[in-house]
Amino acid sequence: MNGRIFYAFSPGKGMLEQVAEPAGPRPILVSAYYLQKKKKDGDILEGWYEYAKPYPLLLDSGVFTFRDKLGFGFKQGLHFHLMTDDDKGVVLGRGLTNQTEMDDFVDSYILYLKKNKGLYDYVVEMDVDEFMGVEVADIYYKKLCEAIPNEQIIRVWHSTRTFENWIEWCETPSISYLAIEGSSQHGRDPQFYRKFIDYARQHGKKTHVFALTAPTFLTRVDVDTVDSSSFAVGGRYALVYTPIGCVSFAKQTTKNNKKNYYHLTDDDRVAVDSWITSKGFTIEDIQDSWQSRNILNLFYFDDFVDVPYVAQMQSYDIFLDRFI
């Protein structure tokens, strides 16, 4: 493990105790939106922060989840508890449709950050450029800067902005960490990201790319960090990453393009069984326990996905570009 991946966990107490802790410490990304909703478990942010050490904890507002709630309205009985100064909270009901509710959400996030000072290393800015505009994003960023140390706030560049905006951010002393959208618009084109990362590095800034975790990308692009929740397919879909590819442990009822454990060739079955037992699990563990599947997937990421940058790969790409 090289510490280049922030693992996005659903921040429940069970996930912390049954998956994260058995897998060992690692960089963590958790959502304040879901943390604030887990009233019955109390605020377990401190537990996640202690677990991640010596790696950093990155806190996200959960604004995209909240946006989706705004866009489609709340279902009856589904509420979001806004943090208030008296800790009693304010419940927002269904039918939230305008910027007022988003403003309240931002204020709640800021209050949450203030009350939990010292329990996170970095926070993602509100990141609303693409659906509210850069002007609103800048207003929200300014509000964040007035509330917590600016060095902890990660600014996010979207294609709604220009490279000149990136230059300005890199030349701002109070900014220490910058992020770039991971978009299908750019694919996994290393050359697109390199100019951003190289300029940031020249100015002593760390960089993050969202939603790109492929080892081929990480070996070719000298980005500091990325993020991923892909390990969780073990719980969601009974899928396990192995050296022979992604294997399904679901009892297959219909044909799909995934390898199914119960229909593997003898050689593939031996390879998968060997991988499972080498990590301390039995076959029955993986068949019966979503927690074990998720832990095994984290171990796979440690060994095969969280790879170091290889400078020679960048030189190779530049060489190929001359002939393409």
Same domain, yes or no, for 199 and 128?
yes
Q: Supply the pLDDT for residue 254.
A: 62
Size of the chain in residues: 324
Write out pLDDT tens, residues 36-67: 876 654 578 999 999 999 999 999 998 888 87
Structure tokens at 236: 């969601």
The domain boundary, picked from 183, 207, 233, lies at: 233
Check which CATH number belongs to the domain holding 221 and give it.
3.20.20
Same domain, yes or no, for 241 and 142?
no
Q: Which residue has the tokens 């002593």?
A: 204
Pairing of strands 90-92, 80-82: antiparallel
Give CA–CA dist 148/125, Å, rounded. Answer: 11
Same domain, yes or no, for 243 and 224?
no
The domain boundary, picked from 210, 233, 256, lies at: 233
Same domain, yes or no, for 151 and 280?
no
Question: How many domains does the structure of the chain reveal?
Answer: 2
CA dihedral 219, 220, 223, 225 (to 10 degrees): -30
Same domain, yes or no, for 140 and 200?
yes
Going by C-beta distance under 8 Å and a sequence separation of 6 or more, which residues neighbour residue 245? 259
In 10 A of CB 308, how many CB atoms? 10
Going by C-beta distance under 8 Å and a sequence separation of 6 or more, which residues neighbour residue 48? 9, 11, 16, 20, 28, 30, 57
Same domain, yes or no, for 99 and 87?
yes
Same domain, yes or no, for 122 and 81?
yes
Residue spans of the chain under pLDDT 70: 38-42, 70-99, 183-185, 187-188, 252-257, 314-324
Q: Which DSSP category does 158 fall into?
A: -
Q: Which DSSP category does 87 fall into?
A: S
Cβ-in-10-Å burial (0-12, 13-18, 19+) of 267 comes to: exposed
Going by C-beta distance under 8 Å and a sequence separation of 6 or more, which residues neighbour residue 201? 207, 222
Give CA–CA dist 1/68, Å, rounded. Answer: 34
Same domain, yes or no, for 271 and 177?
no
Give CA–CA dist 82/93, Å, rounded. Answer: 11
Give CA–CA dist 285/261, Å, rounded. Answer: 14
In 10 A of CB 254, how many CB atoms? 4
57 closest CA partner among 6, 10, 117: 6
DSSP of 243-302, one letter per residue? TTEEEE-S---S--SSEEGGG--HHHHHHHHHHHHHTT--HHHHHH-HHHHHHHHHHHII
Q: Which DSSP category does 174 fall into?
A: T
Same domain, yes or no, for 252 and 205?
no
The domain boundary, picked from 193, 210, 233, lies at: 233
29 closest CA partner among 71, 61, 64, 72: 61
Same domain, yes or no, for 10 and 144?
yes
Instruction: Determine what percent of the chain falls in helix, strand and coil, rounding each to the nearest 5.
Output: 50, 15, 40
Same domain, yes or no, for 153 and 223?
yes
Give CA–CA dist 25/57, Å, rounded. Answer: 11
Q: Judge if pTM exceeds 0.85.
A: yes
Same domain, yes or no, for 51 and 120?
yes
Range of the domain at 37: 5-233
Q: Supply the pLDDT for residue 56.
A: 98
